[in-house]
Amino acid sequence: MNLIYTLNKSPAFIFDYLTDMDKFASIHPVITRIDKTGESTYLVHETLKLGFIPYSFTYPVTLMSNEKDHTVSIKATVMKVTIIEMNYSIREENGISTVDELITIKSPLPLKSYMEKIFREQHALFFQQMEQL
In tens, the pLDDT along 1-15 reads 999 999 999 999 999
β-bridge partners, 82: 78
What's the CATH code of the domain at 110?
A: 3.30.530.20
What per-residue confidence (pLDDT) applies to 57?
95
| Positive or negative torsion for Cα 4, 2, 18, 28 | positive
What per-residue confidence (pLDDT) applies to 109?
85
Q: How many domains does the chain have?
A: 1
| Positive or negative torsion for Cα 115, 121, 122, 123 | positive
What per-residue confidence (pLDDT) applies to 114?
87
Residues (pLDDT < 70) of the chain are: none
The domain of 44 spans: 2-132
63 close to 40: Cβ distance less than 8 angstroms:
yes
Question: Can you give the pTM of this predicted structure?
Answer: 0.94
Kindly report the three-state secondary structure assignment for every residue of the chain: CEEEEEECCCHHHHHHHHHCHHHHHHHCCCEEEEEECCCCEEEEEEEEEECCEEEEEEEEEEEEEECCCCEEEEEEEECCCEEEEEEEEEEEECCEEEEEEEEEEECCCCCHHHHHHHHHHHHHHHHHHHHHC
Buried b (16+ CB within 10 A) or exposed e, 64-91: ebeeeebbbbbbbebeeebebebbbbbe
